[in-house]
Amino acid sequence: MERAKLRAKFQLSGAAFMSKIFISYRRHDSRPVATLIYDPLARHFEPEFGAGAVFMDVHGIPLGVNFRAYLNEQVASAELLLALIADRWLTAVDEHGARRLDSPNDFVRIEIEEALKRGVPVVPVYVDDAKFLREAELPDGLKELAWMNGFQLRTDARYFAADAARLIAGLEPHLAPSQPVADDKAHAKKYFDSGEVHRKKGDYDRAIADYDQAIRLDPECAKAYNYRGGAYQAKLDFDRALTDYDEAIRLEPEYTAPRYNRGFIYQQKGEYDRAVADYDRFISHDPKDAEAYYERGVTYSKKCDYDRHNRWIAAACDQAGSLDPETMQAYTGRGDYDRAIADLDQAIRLDPKYANAYCARGTVYEGNGNYDLAIADYDSALAIDPYYKLAAISRRIAEKKRAGQNKKKG
């Protein structure tokens, strides 16, 4: 399913981005700084180049992969390497007291040597008061680093934002701007997959930025509009979400996922007839989807104004002592009540463990004064999920209403 609701199931293609910027740092020396600078770099460069444009940390290496080969691959794909150099970068020692930089297995040395060997620009970033490197202090494979023009980064909150902005401005000339072609669907898919990575992390702004790029490259991609609409919906920006769902449906009228998503927004906005129309179309395409019946049933139940209906009945009885059945049915939306029950019945038939559907049907029964049936449904919901608070509270309320009803009858 490609629905925007949080319980939706999405699939990723598994496509991976190679990095544009590789951050090299020594964990015991500059890890906090690496994390600090990563955020503004990612915010600036990932909207254009996609998720993974900024690579940091060996924790990003997949399990079971040769870390040396993986690091070499990432460095080789990068367009520049940032070498974060703090006060202990040069002098850090291992558990035997040997200087780490002298070991051919040192992560930092592997990364920087590979970059220098492949001609990847290396930018030394001197953190706070770190001293500039001297050639005599470096092993043979790193001596060239001493001659690279560096940048001083101050981590003090008073200066960091300005320094980060200057660093970004200095890095931009090193990064080849993307040269997309309007019909480059393969490139668009990479941005789409990147958007999915961010969406799954709950980073909807970055997801939207990637979907923007996917749509720019492939403006006929209905799926990109649908998923961007889902990201907007997650941010509760319903108007933009509706615009995207409308466009997805215009591009592919038989694509039913955006109809389901649009129906949910119409339901939230109180446009129940439009919501029902969208759910109708979705169900006609997928008649075994329990959630769609549940949502349509909830929509029908929301069309029933039970309180107003009960007040009207009381007033009419006081005045005339009887009711015109046809007038009463038209006024109360009895058809919507029956449809709500029918849809929730079907949802439960398709998924007998659907606690929400039992609770929703109980609410409809309760609203129509069928307290015994309501309580039975709340009990069913609680049997499936004993910690379902809404069902427990609703059951207590229904019991009180039933007691009051019985008292009046007595």
Whole-angstrom Cα Rg for the chain? 31
Distance (Å, whole) CA 61 – CA 56? 10
pLDDT in tens, 233-253: 999 999 999 999 999 999 998
143 CB neighbour count, 10 Å cutoff: 15
Angle at CA 8, nearest 5°, toward 5 and 14?
A: 125
pTM of this structure: 0.49
Residue 152 φ then ψ, to 5°: -95, 125
Packed helices 185-200 and 204-217: angle between N→C axes, nearest 10 degrees: 170
Tens of pLDDT, residue by residue over 56-100, are 765 556 667 677 777 777 777 778 888 888 888 888 888 888 888
| pLDDT at position 244 | 92
Q: What is the pLDDT of residue 29?
A: 78
Q: What CATH fold (topology level) applies to the domain 306-409? A: 1.25.40
Using CA atoms in the order 231, 237, 238, 239, what is the torsion angle rounded to 10 degrees? -110
User: Check: CATH 3.40.50.10140 for 21-174?
Assistant: yes
Distances (CA, A) of 112 to 48, 184, 238: 26, 34, 47
Q: What pLDDT, in 10s, does the model give residues 248-298?
A: 999 998 888 999 999 999 988 888 889 989 998 998 888 888 888 888 888
- Reported as a single tens digit per residue, the pLDDT across 189-207 is 888 888 888 888 888 888 8
C-alpha to C-alpha distance for 161 and 155, rounded to whole angstroms: 9
What are the residue boundaries of the structural domains of the chain, listed by start? 21-174, 306-409
**Residues 305/333, Cβ–Cβ less than 8 Å:** yes
14 pLDDT above the threshold of 50: no
- The answer, yes or no, to whether residue 309 has pLDDT greater than 50, is no
Helix (H) or strand (E) holding 343: helix 334-350
Lookup: tokens for 382: 């609680």
From the centroid of its chain, how far is CA 90? 41
What pLDDT is attached to residue 407?
66
pLDDT of residue 198: 86
C-alpha span between 256 and 26 (Å, rounded): 50
Helix axes 290-303, 272-285, angle to 10 degrees: 160
Per-residue pLDDT tens for 44-53? 887 777 767 8
